[in-house]
Amino acid sequence: MPRKTSRGVELKYSREENPTVYALEKVLAKLDEAEDALVFNCGMAAISTVYLSTLKSRSSILVSKEAYGVTQQLALNLEKFGVKTIFGGPETDQIVNSITKDIDLVVVETITNPLLKVIDVNEVIKVCNETGSKIVVDNTFATPILYKPIKNNAWLVLYSLTKYIAGHNDV
């Protein structure tokens, strides 16, 4: 009888259905006190998945001016598909003032990479929830030990495990 994961997925092919990946996802969800977690082979694969599964033509995305450069560049690349990209910040009030009901997705980092700027993520989450914008928080540098954005109603939280959580890329 084939083995199945807690999601009911049959384990057939290690790249797609890997029991150690599912175990890691469970641990990460528990650390964040979240409902679930998904693990990708790199942070940009996770960001790409969020962008491509959430945004469509005539969507608007607001990205922090201090966000990781490749995160910003990927958002700009979506303009050729009709996605409007706006950059806000770097200060909390500048980000918050850029959020309107027309913004579909907001992407911020708790502590920016590489400049280590800290914003009031709770305030950004609050405004996003008021306007109906989905908020994605890259919590890589804070980790779930210091801050849990999900507990403050963030829509989605991302981590690059190669930084503080694991320190290298062989998780």
Catalytic residues: 15, 68, 138, 163
What phi and psi, each to the nearest 5 degrees, are found at residue 163? -100, -115
Q: Please give the C-alpha separations between residue 97 and each of 25, 40, 46, 137, in angstroms, as whole numbers.
A: 35, 32, 27, 18
Closest alpha carbon to 107 in 82, 80, 89, 131: 89
Phi-psi region of 33 (alpha: psi -120 to 50; beta: other; left: phi over 0): left
Residue type (1 letter), 158: L
Beta bridge partners of 10: 4
Answer yes or no: are the C-beta atoms of 141 and 165 closer than 8 Å. Answer: no
Three-state SS string over 67-91 comes to CCHHHHHHHHHHHHHCCEEEEECCC
What phi and psi, each to the nearest 5 degrees, are found at residue 42? -160, 160
